[in-house]
Amino acid sequence: MTPSRDISRLIEIMAALRTPKTGCPWDLEQTYATIAPYTIEEAYEVAEAIAQGDFNELRVELGDLFLQVVYHARMAEEEGRFAFGDVVEAITSKMIRRHPHVFGDEDARAAGAAKGFWEKIKAGEKAEKGDKSQGHLDDVPLALPALTRALKLQQKAARVGFDWKDASPILDKIAEEIGELREAMEAGDAAHVAEEFGDTLFSLVNFGRHLGLDAENALRGTNDKFRHRFHAVECGLADKGVKLGEATLEEMEALWQAAKGR
């Protein structure tokens, strides 16, 4: 079987991998649950390639992520639930339905993307499903990273008017949450400390949102900065013939500040 630019070839490859007796033993053992972590991991690797501006790697990582869609669809087809074509149909239908200002009739296109139209369309979709019990924020996925989910919850609440008018009062809220965190620490209540710590993080995400910042992306940048500076500390110690774990905090701090200065 040769490589191809045609999606049907990838579908054929996945079918071959999942064919009993002649397929790949590892692939045959997999389930939705065992593959799900790889799906999340591949999405992060796509984000990493974008952050690094590595478009050759992005091409590869998008393929890896796309494979996850084909994989899940193949398992569903084996169970008679749906096939890859149904996945494509579902998303194309959704995109057309949610963009009447692009794909609708003349009146819909002329009306444009009026404020709040997206929420109205999604509310209509929920009504068609007969789901009246779902709250406004209930469709924000639980599986999202916590910082990303906090941002999405806040954004969705803000669309219906539940939001601070500007960023300044949020700084006071952050100070308030830190005060409550201190009180919980002094009381020695571990569960309360965890709760107040979470409240502080949530307020910080909200503050970043008002500044036009994505907390997840901002923290990812800081993580990379920390990693680079710590590597500089590691190299500096190696130059002195000192191993990690044997250096004093003062030695490491001096190297850290030098790396920071550079």
Give tens-digit pLDDT for 71-109: 999 999 999 999 999 999 999 999 998 888 888 887 777
Give yes or no for residue 258 having a pLDDT over 80.
yes
Q: Structure tokens of 167?
A: 């960023």
Question: What is the percentage of the chain residues whose pLDDT exceeds 90?
Answer: 75
pLDDT computed for residue 14 by the predictor = 97
Domain ranges of the chain: 7-96, 98-129, 146-213, 217-261
Residue 134: pLDDT band (50, 70, 90) is: confident
Interval 201-219: pLDDT, tens = 999 999 999 999 999 989 9
Residue count of the chain: 262
H/E run at residue 74:
helix 55-78
Return the closest-CA partner of residue 214 out of 204, 199, 223: 204
pLDDT computed for residue 132 by the predictor = 62
pTM of the model: 0.67
Q: Structure tokens of 52?
A: 């690094």
Residue 114: pLDDT band (50, 70, 90) is: low
Fold agreement between 7-96 and 146-213: yes
Homologous superfamily in CATH for domain 7-96: MazG-like (1.10.287.1080)
Supply the DSSP symbol for 45: H
Residue 33: pLDDT band (50, 70, 90) is: very high
Q: Tell me which CATH code domain 146-213 carries.
A: 1.10.287.1080
Contacts of 68 (CB under 8 A, 6+ apart): 35, 38, 39, 42
Give yes or no for residue 131 having a pLDDT over 80.
no
